[in-house]
Amino acid sequence: METLNSLTPELWRLLLAIIGIVVVVFGNALVMGYLERKLAGHFQCRTGPMEVGFHGILQLIVDGVKLMGKQLVVPAQADKKLFMLAPMLSFAPVFLPLLVIPFSDKLQGFDLDVGLLFILAIASINVLAILVGGWGSNNKYSLFGAFRSVAQNVAYEIPMLIALLAVVFMTNTFSLRGIVEAQNVWFVFLQPVAFLIYLVAMVAETNRAPFDLPEAESELTAGFHTEYSGMGFSLFMIAEYTNMFIVCSIATVFFLGGTSGIPLPYFEYTGALWFFAKVYLLMFFLVWIRWTYPRTRFDQLMNLCWKYLIPFSLINLLITVVVVKL
């Protein structure tokens, strides 16, 4: 009780924020896992999960229990320490970026001046986790998946950063709340090229189809997580869904006006409804393109990045800088 009383209001707020973030991470993984399978079904004129609960709504909970009950198999001759470390390395950092995302005017862990840099720095740890997992598995498919993931993520971080930089030049701040507040007009209308480039780079950064080369089922079994079973696999999956949530949140903050929308009562809190609506619309788009496009070949992937995205993002940045200066 002594320690509880000694907590300052600011610490209480942070504690609540962290609890909220844990809820968002697991809730998002459940919702997206269900939505993805349901949408995948309907994109193919099937029904998707139907058996557990009303229209299969409890399917993901049952799956979670199953995954928890499964044995963690470590392959013989795998690097056991790295093998066990990788899922945690992938899963643990995904909580941090959510701390600085402004869900609404008042619902934000804390507003960092360098919020964007913070998110991008933390998000890039995932590449390391994939590399460690692929290397530690002692499996050729895992290793190939990891190699591809590193090449792809390093390449696509460049256009992503440059596209976001154009917005930063317009708002003069790295703080996510500052960027939301600076948007009288949604930046998607002022920076359409940057938005498109970010959209492509965001799909590649989250390793999702059509850029899912690190886990290409038809070539690499399951890529870097071939050898993972039970919770090792599900930690990777939760991390992937949370990374989707994070990149969609950045897109919402930078291009879709964050919480802005039709005013509701108690808008400093209920603005989060608009925020989540926009994020999940983008998530729906991610699922949509996953079930539309075939996987790119590796050279096509690199061509798209180096020949199209990077030149266009640089030109876009140049024009933005000139216009802002004028």
Partner 1 sequence: MKAYFTDLFTGAWSLIVGLKVTFKALISPVVTVQYPRVKNEVTPNYRGHIDLVKDAETGSHRCITCGSCMRECPSGCIVVDGEKREGVKGKALTVFTLDFTKCSLCGACVEVCPTQALDYSQEYELAGSAREDFHYDLLKRVEERE
Q: Is 12 in the site for partner 1 (CB under 8 A)?
A: no
Determine the 3-state secondary structure of 191 from DSSP: coil
The one among 12, 44, 172, 306 contacting partner 1 by CB under 8 A: 44
**Which of 288, 315, 319, 323 touches partner 1 by CB under 8 A?**
288
Stretch that binds partner 1, among 64-72, 213-221, 239-247, 284-292 (CB under 8 A): 284-292
Residue from the set 1, 4, 45, 185 that interacts with partner 1 by CB under 8 A: 45
Q: Which of residues 105-134 bind partner 1 (CB under 8 A)?
A: none
- 293 in contact with partner 1 (CB under 8 A): yes
Residue 172 binding partner 1, by CB under 8 A: no
Whether 243 contacts 80, CB under 8 Å: no
* Contact status: 47 vs partner 1 (CB under 8 A): yes
- Long-range CB pairs of 185-193 (<8 Å, 24+ gap) are 186/255, 186/256, 186/257, 186/260, 187/254, 187/255, 187/257, 188/255, 188/256, 191/163, 191/166, 191/167, 191/255, 191/316, 191/320, 193/163, 193/312, 193/313, 193/316
* Nearest approach, Cβ of residue 261 and partner 1 (Å): 24
CB 191 within 8 A of CB 255: yes
Binding-site member from 12, 15, 22, 42 for partner 1 (CB under 8 A): 42
Q: Does 280 bind partner 1 (CB under 8 A)?
A: no
| C-alpha angle 249-251-253 in degrees, rounded to nearest 5 | 70
Minimum distance from residue 292 beta carbon to partner 1 (Å)? 4
Distance CA 107, CA 270 (A): 9
Binding region for partner 1 (CB under 8 A):
39, 41-47, 50, 288-289, 291-293, 307-308
